[in-house]
């Protein structure tokens, strides 16, 4: 499959997230729990996400993923318990918007890593996925996920 990757400069974005270690098998459950907890907290402080839900992967150890799960916020917001304020740093990013099943993302990652090895792009080591819709809203074939390396 041919991928058209985009390299762009992105502004700093504020986030609220929960960070955990989990296996790839338990990731959907962990994402759902984290997003629900953060949305409840946002509603209690009169705020809402300013953009998509996200996951930030600090490693790719499928049995012990180190992952931040949360939402992009319009401004810095206070922490509460496991919910922490964070940032997606400003700077250059390589990204691709995938339409379809989450199961197909592995091939996107492989193609992006190959592109990185053949280019002058040096990622920070963090991989982000931004989820523009969810399996609760649309059929699997219509899921939109932006994969990016910063």
pTM assigned to the model: 0.93
Cβ neighbours around 106 below 10 Å, total: 9
- The confidence score (pLDDT) of residue 142 equals 97
- CA dihedral over 86, 89, 90, 94, signed as positive or negative: negative
23-59 pLDDT per residue, tens: 999 999 999 999 999 999 999 999 999 999 999 999 9
Domain 6-149 has CATH 3.90.550.10: no
Q: For the chain, which residues make up each domain, given as ranges?
A: 6-149
17 forms bridges with which residues in the sheet? 70, 84
| Rounded average pLDDT over 82-105 | 95
């Amino acid at each position: 499959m041919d991928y058209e990757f985009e390299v762009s400069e992105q502004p700093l974005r504020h986030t609220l997230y929960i960070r955990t270690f989990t296996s790839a098998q338990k990731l959907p459950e962990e994402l759902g729990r984290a997003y629900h907890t953060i949305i409840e907290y946002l509603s209690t402080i009169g705020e809402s996400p300013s953009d998509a839900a996200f996951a930030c992967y600090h490693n790719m150890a499928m049995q012990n993923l180190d992952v931040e799960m949360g939402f992009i916020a319009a401004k810095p917001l206070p922490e509460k318990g496991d919910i922490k304020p964070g940032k997606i740093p400003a700077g250059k990013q390589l990204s691709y918007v995938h339409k379809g099943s989450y199961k197909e993302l592995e091939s996107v990652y492989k193609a992006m890593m190959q592109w990185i090895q053949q280019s002058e792009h040096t990622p920070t080591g963090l991989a982000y996925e931004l989820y523009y819709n969810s399996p609760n809203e649309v059929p699997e074939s219509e899921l939109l996920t932006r994969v990016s390396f910063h």
